[in-house]
Structure 1
Amino acid sequence: MKTKTLALAAVMTVALSAPTMAADWFIGGGVGAQQNTYKGSVTQNVDPGFNAENFKETENNVLYELRAGAYLNDNNRVYGTYSYNSDDATRQQSLLVSYDYLVGLDANNKFNWFIGATAGMNHVSPDAAEYSSKNRFVWGGQTGLMYNINDNVSTEIGYRYLKQDFEASGSYGEPTPMGTGFTEQASLNDSQQLYLSVDYRF
């Protein structure tokens, strides 16, 4: 909890300073791939702990995102992102606040490397009717390369890691002496995103 609080506080502090410090605003969108890692177990209700089976699965699907933010100067930017991802287990909608530090890789700063932190809220909607939708805090970081096509348009490829804490459980069947009933517990451990975006700066 302490780590989550510090991550959120750091990102929000920089984000709230944007209106007074910003030199250039930007809007943009992107598409990519998101990998979600699920962990869990299935246990027979007739004898908890007996025939328990643990599992770990990864789902890979398309990611869509829209974002808007501001460049505070040549080396710092803050932005908010809405993203959507759906796989065989869940649908996710995220509202994230991010900060990046940019390092110019050439004399004209057309190529930049960026690294930063992200915190926000993720709405998880499981496909299984037994599980309910939940809002959960997420946090992590991102890095990547940005290229300024001209003074107004830039494109970038980035990687983002998000730590998640979504957990759900459900019971199925009837707990009979033959052990037909069972309980499933599952959690969304983390998500990894690889994306390509285009931004318009004004």
Structure 2
Amino acid sequence: MKKIALAVLLASGLIAADSGNYIGIDIGNTKFDMKASAAGVSAEESDDGGSATFKLGYYYDKNSRAFISYQNINVDGGDAYYAGIGYDYLIGDNDIKPFVGGFVGYGSAEVDDLADLDISGVVYGAQAGVNYAINENFSVEAGYRYMKSNMEDTITVSGVDVKLEIDPISNWFVGVNYKF
């Protein structure tokens, strides 16, 4: 009986070692398509720029984690950001683990020259990548995020209503995480 109790205690200690809070940051390139439409005429334009993402999360075990994140995106003539929550599943038992996940949140883009323009709405998507555990506290990762959104706003230009929409959004990234 003592051996079983000892084995349970050791196993629970190993499981607890896999869980814990973490903080992460990644940098990358984010691209999005913007569509403008008015009076039956539409035009599309793409914009891309550097991005930085800050994450705060929790490892439930060695293969699953949840997080909140904030991503700042550099765009031509304005600012854009995304804030949300997500979940990743890390595949395998090795130091190198592929991961897949999903997320949902709120996104907003503003143009400096148009003070009343705020293209905003729900953003959701999926991500995939590879995570490498350097040691039990530090890991590095690289991946790709694909996002859909209902981000939109309508402005009036010379008496004509112009609807602006952003969709889709894609992001390549590399980052580092610290588990404490």
Normalised by the length of structure 1, the TM-score is 0.73
Check the 8 A contact 1:96/1:120 in 2, yes or no: yes
Deviating above 6 A after TM superposition, structure 1's stretches of 4 or more consecutive aligned residues are: none
Cα distance change on mapping 1:128 and 1:187 into 2, 3 Å: farther
Does 1:123 find its partner at 2:108? Answer: yes
More strand by share: 2
1:102 is matched with 90
SS of match in other structure, 1:109:
coil
In 1, the alpha carbon distance for the partners of 2:121 and 2:129 equals: 26
Cα distance change on mapping 1:79 and 1:73 into 2, 3 Å: same
Cα distance change on mapping 1:90 and 1:191 into 2, 3 Å: farther
In 2, the alpha carbon distance for the partners of 1:196 and 1:90 equals: 24
Check the 8 A contact 1:141/1:161 in 2, yes or no: yes
In 2, the alpha carbon distance for the partners of 1:130 and 1:94 equals: 19
2:135 is matched with 150
In 1, the alpha carbon distance for the partners of 2:120 and 2:154 equals: 16
Q: 2:173 aligns with which of 184, 191, 195?
A: 195
Length, aligned pairs only: 163
1:13 is matched with none
1:184 is matched with 162
Unaligned residue ranges in structure 2 (runs of 5+) = 1-17
Check the 8 A contact 2:107/2:151 in 1, yes or no: no
Query: Whose RCO is larger (CA < 8 A, sep 6+)?
Result: 1
Percent of matched pairs sharing the same residue: 26
Q: CA offset at residue 42 of structure 1?
A: 4.6
Q: How does 1:1-12 map to 2 (within 5 A)?
A: none
SS of match in other structure, 1:150:
coil
Q: How does 1:9-88 map to 2 (within 5 A)?
A: 23-43=19-39, 49=40, 52=41, 54-88=42-76
Q: CA offset at residue 149 of structure 1?
A: 0.9
Does 1:164 find its partner at 2:123? Answer: no
In 2, the alpha carbon distance for the partners of 1:184 and 1:89 equals: 19
In 2, the alpha carbon distance for the partners of 1:90 and 1:160 equals: 22
1:23-63 residue CA offsets vs partner (Å, 9 max, x unmatched): 221111111000011112254xxxxx5xx3x2111111001
In 2, the alpha carbon distance for the partners of 1:135 and 1:58 equals: 17
Check the 8 A contact 1:91/1:126 in 2, yes or no: yes
1:62-101 residue CA offsets vs partner (Å, 9 max, x unmatched): 0111111111011111111111012126422221111011
Write the letter of the residue equivalent to 1:55: A
In 2, the alpha carbon distance for the partners of 1:163 and 1:145 equals: 22
Q: CA offset at residue 135 of structure 1?
A: 4.4
**Superposed CA RMSD:** 2.0
